Amino acid sequence: MTDFAVGTRTAGIDDAEYDALLTEVTDWVRGPGEEWSERIEAADDVPRELFDELRDRGYLSMAAPVDLGGRGVSFTQWMGLMEIFSRSHASIRMLVHVVNGTWRAILPYASEEQIENYVKPMIAGRTLVAFTLTEPGNGSGADISCSVRREGDTYYLSGRKHLITFGVKCDYWLLFARLEGTTGPDGLVALLVDRNAPGAQVEDTSNTMGVRGTDHATLRFEETPVPVAQRLGDEGEGLRIALGGFLTPSRISVAMSCVGLAERAQELAVVYARERVTFGKPIAKRQAIAFMLAENAADIQAAKQLTLHAAREWEADSPDAPTLSSMAKMTAVDMLTRVTDKALQVHGGVGYWKTSTIERVYRDARAQRFEEGTNEIQKTIVARAVLGDADDSKRNGAAQ
């Protein structure tokens, strides 16, 4: 097993290289990224050409260690880049976010052979892996019911998953299931399931309110064979792999995604407020509008700083990082709701039309309220820490 702290946390690149990278990404988001955004909205699809462009530019491997083929930016540096990418179309952000993060769940538990066969191809952008935890009939923790039984060197998988991002177009599902006959978190396993495995049925459920173009799936498995060699870690470590390896840093990344999208909404509102004239003067000169924009600016900065604090704590392998990730996510989501609502209000009726960019931003913002767990789940996690019940939550894995 790869050491967790070393394997998933990189030292980062020097300031000059990082500043150049920030400039490059900013220019891409404002230029080609906007053109891609228009194409995605028009076709309701993320074309393969976009994935290839992001890969060829190195944008899908920024956060991974250099010795695995990545750029080697630190997690806090990655947050700065995530902030910029999130000002673009939500499906662009989703691709960059997921591909730059899913390997974190796999690497600490992967054998050398699995690193060569799965982790490095993921980082190189040759393989797309979909995080596959959520189920239609229960929560997203120790109560999952998708099950496997083992016969020799093969698991046989049965059950359902839904709301699986990239579940249609992926190459593998990083799937969490229960050993048949077990209860609680100790019976969970993490498996890499081939997208084309026998007995796997995929239903495309991509018709969403926002984040248009990103594919989502409902999955059904009937005695689907999965080689034991494609299990990560040991039996019983599934929940640890799902929560610690992926969800904690991913929640921090989602929080920063909220910051970036809120900044985009604020930018649009400021431009419109300066341009829109009523009764002889720009509406930016009217106190009601100016106060909305002032509140937005303060709101964004508060969420950003909490998110950066959570990122630094995760980078330092702090035991407080999981709780802080939930704090950051729930704070940033509420902030984004307020900011986008005010930004749309500044636009008046014009903002309600699809010809207005703020309309897309407003729709995309709503998805953040349940990505990587609803705010109700985040509050439950934080409350446990506040009330001293953190050990109980780790044991039962509920509401994660």
Using alpha carbons, select from 248, 242, 296 the residue that is nearest to residue 269: 296
Q: Determine the average pLDDT of the residues in 9-15.
A: 87
CA 267 distance to own-chain centroid = 23
- β strands within 78-153, DSSP E: 129-132, 147-151
Q: Which of the following is catalytic: 83, 263, 315, 372?
A: 372
Instruction: Give the SS3 label for residue 9.
Output: coil
How far is 375 from 200, CA to CA, in rounded Å? 32
pLDDT at residue 4 tops 80: no
The one-letter amino acid code at 9 reads: R
Looking at residue 258, its pLDDT comes to: 98
Span 124-139, average pLDDT: 91
Encode pLDDT of 278-322 as tens digits: 999 999 999 999 999 999 999 999 999 999 999 999 999 999 999
Other C-beta atoms closer than 10 Å to the C-beta of 387 total 9
Q: How confident is the model at residue 137 (pLDDT cuts 50, 70, 90)?
A: confident
Q: What is the CATH number of domain 129-236?
A: 2.40.110.10
Of the candidates 133, 228, 234, the residue with the CA atom closest to the CA atom of residue 175: 133
Q: How many CB atoms lie within 10 A of CB 225?
A: 15
- pLDDT tens for each residue of 52-70: 999 999 999 999 999 999 9
| Span 99-114, pLDDT tens digits | 999 999 999 999 999 9
CA-CA distances (angstroms) from residue 94 to 47, 181, 212, 229, 340? 14, 36, 11, 29, 19
372 flagged as catalytic: yes
What pLDDT band is residue 7 in, cutting at 50, 70 and 90?
A: low
Domain residue limits, the chain: 4-124, 129-236, 239-396
Closest to 348 in 3D by CA, of 301, 288, 294, 297: 288
Superfamily of domain 4-124: Acyl-CoA dehydrogenase/oxidase, N-terminal domain (1.10.540.10)
Q: Which residue has the higher pLDDT, 238 or 397?
A: 238
**Which class would CATH give 239-396?**
mainly alpha
Helix (H, G, I), strand (E, B) or coil at 390: helix
Tell me what percent of the residues of the chain surpass a pLDDT of 90: 86
Q: Rounded to an integer, what is the distance from CA 204 to the centroid of its chain? A: 20
This prediction has a pTM of 0.91
